[in-house]
Structure 1
Amino acid sequence: MIKPQPFKLRPPRGIVFDMDGTLTRPQTQMFTDMRRALQIEHVKIDILDHLATLPDKEKQLAEEKLAQIEESYMLKTEPTVGVVELFQFLSRKNIKYTVCTRNLMRPVLHLLETHLKGVEFCQPVVTRSFRPAKPAAEPLLHIAAAWGFEPKDMVMVGDSRDDVLAGLAAGFTTILLRHEDNAKVADDFPQIDYVIHDFHELVELLD
C-alpha cells in the first residue's frame, strides 16, 4: 500500500465506488472503441461532453453506438478479486456503499445479477443519466446528501482521473485502486489520500 498512514478520519459512514476498472477488471480498450465510434479518437474531449454538443438526432445515434459497445464489453466483465469479501466486510461494519459510474444502468445490473448475487447497493446508484457526471463533484455530493452524510464522512474509491478529480472536488477521502493501466494517475495527483493495489488493502485501511 502506498502512503501508509493511520486513516485520517474516523471510520467512514459511506463509500462510493467507481465500476469499470474498480469493481470490475479494467477494460481500457472499451473507451478507445467508444472514441473511435464517435470519431473523436484524436480529439482531446470528454466523451460525455462531446455527446452534449451534438444535435438531438446525432446524439441519439451516438448514444446507441456507445450502448452497443458497452453491452459487448459488459458480457466479458470480470469482477475484481476480493470484491465480494469487501462488500461483506462493509455490511458487517454498517458502512453504506454504492456505485457512481459514467456507464448506463444495464451494466451495473449485469454485474449484480451475474457476479455479485446477494449484494445490494444502497440507493442512489448514480449512472451517466445524472448530469453533470464525474469528474464533477455533484454526483458524489448527491449521494452524500441522500444519505444525510457530510463529505468528511465519505470515501471515493476509483481507478481513473475522473474518480480522483470528483473525490477531491467533493471533499471525500479519495482512494485510487492502482492497476497496470493507470499507474500515471497516482503520479499526477499527489493529493490522493491513499493508493491501494487490491481490496484486501482497503479492508486493512478500514478495519
Structure 2
Amino acid sequence: MQKLILFDFDGTLADTAPDLAAAANTMRVQKGLEPLPYELLRPMASQGARGLLKAGLDLAPDHPEYEEHRIRFLSEYEKQMTSLTRLFPGVGELLATLKAEGFQWGIVTNKVEYLAVPIVRHLQLEAECAVTVGGDTAGHAKPHPAPLLYAAEKTGFQPEDCIYVGDDERDIVAGKAAGMPTIAAAYGYCQVEDIPRWNADAVVDSAHEIWPAVQALLQRVA
C-alpha cells in the first residue's frame, strides 16, 4: 500500500541554520555588535525568527521592538536564504529510495510559504515533492495538527497512512495529534537529551536511518 512520508524542513531535510545564523549576525553587526559563533546560533534555527532574535539580540516576542526587528530579520534572511543552505547528508538518497519504492513525500514546515517555496525550488525538490505546507498555509502552525492534516487531504491520504519526520518536539506533538506515526530526527537542531520525553515512535541519528525506520514502523502496524 502506498504511503506518504511528510518531513519538517529546517533541521530535517535541509540544513538552513547557516543562512539563518548569518541573518542574525548581520543584524548584530548593524547594531555595532560582534557576530556570535555559529555554534551558539545553530540550536535556535528550528525556532525561526523568534529563536534567532532571542539568541542574537535578546529580543522576546513581548519586547516593544520585537515586531520591527522580526520584519527586518526576515528581510535580511530572504536576501541570503539560499547562500549556504544544503540538504543534510543522505537526504538525496532517501528521497530517491522513497520514489523507487512507490512512496510519495511532502514537506510540512512552520516557515512561511514565501520563504519556504523558493528554498525548496533552489534545492531542486519541487518536482518530486507531493505537497509543501508552510506555517501560514492551513490557518495554524505546528504543534497544531492542521498543517499535517491539510497535507494528507491535499495528497489524498488518510492520516494513518502518513509518517511525519521532524527535529523539534512540536513536530512530534503535531504528528501524534494528527494520528500519524512519528520519527524524531536527532541530527537536527534539537537538544538530543530532550528527545526521549517526546515519545516519538522512532529516533534516527542521520537521514540514512530514516528509510529503515520507516520500514520498521510499517511492519509494526501491519
Assess same fold via TM > 0.5.
yes
Q: How far apart are the structure 2 equivalents of 1:180 and 1:148?
A: 29
Contact kept? 1:33, 1:69, Cα under 8 Å: no
Query: By percentage of residues, which structure has more helix?
Result: 2
- 1:49-198 matches, within 5 Å, as 61=68, 64-71=71-78, 72-116=80-124, 119-123=127-131, 125-130=132-137, 131-179=139-187, 181-182=189-190, 183-189=192-198, 191-198=199-206
Contact kept? 1:179, 1:197, Cα under 8 Å: yes
Cα 1:174–1:117, aligned 2, differ >3 Å: closer, same or farther? Answer: closer
Contact kept? 2:16, 2:84, Cα under 8 Å: no
1:82-134 Cα offsets, whole Å, 9 max, x none, are: 111111111112211111111123443343343336753113x1112122100
Deviation at 1:26, TM superposition (A): 6.2
Q: How far apart are the structure 2 equivalents of 1:149 and 1:117?
A: 20
Deviation at 1:12, TM superposition (A): 6.0
Contact kept? 1:17, 1:98, Cα under 8 Å: yes
Deviation at 1:197, TM superposition (A): 0.9
Look up the equivalent residue of 1:187 and give its one-letter code. P
Tell me the TM-score normalized by structure 2: 0.69
Look up the equivalent residue of 2:158 and give its one-letter code. E
Q: How far apart are the structure 2 equivalents of 1:79 and 1:67?
A: 21
Residue number among 3, 21, 38 corresponding to 1:13 in the alignment: 3
Is 1:33 aligned with 2:23?
Answer: no
| Segments of 4+ moved more than 4 angstroms | none
Cα 1:174–1:17, aligned 2, differ >3 Å: closer, same or farther? Answer: same
The percent identity for this pair of structures is: 24
Which protein has greater RCO, CA pairs closer than 8 Å, 6+ apart?
1
Look up the equivalent residue of 1:23 and give its one-letter code. L
Q: How far apart are the structure 2 equivalents of 1:121 and 1:164?
A: 21
* 3-state SS in 2 of match to 1:135: coil
Q: CA RMSD, aligned part only?
A: 2.8
Look up the equivalent residue of 1:15 and give its one-letter code. I
Q: How far apart are the structure 1 equivalents of 2:57 and 2:149?
A: 32
Cα 1:92–1:106, aligned 2, differ >3 Å: closer, same or farther? Answer: same
Cα 1:79–1:95, aligned 2, differ >3 Å: closer, same or farther? Answer: same
Deviation at 1:67, TM superposition (A): 1.7
Tell me the TM-score normalized by structure 1: 0.74
Cα 1:165–1:137, aligned 2, differ >3 Å: closer, same or farther? Answer: same
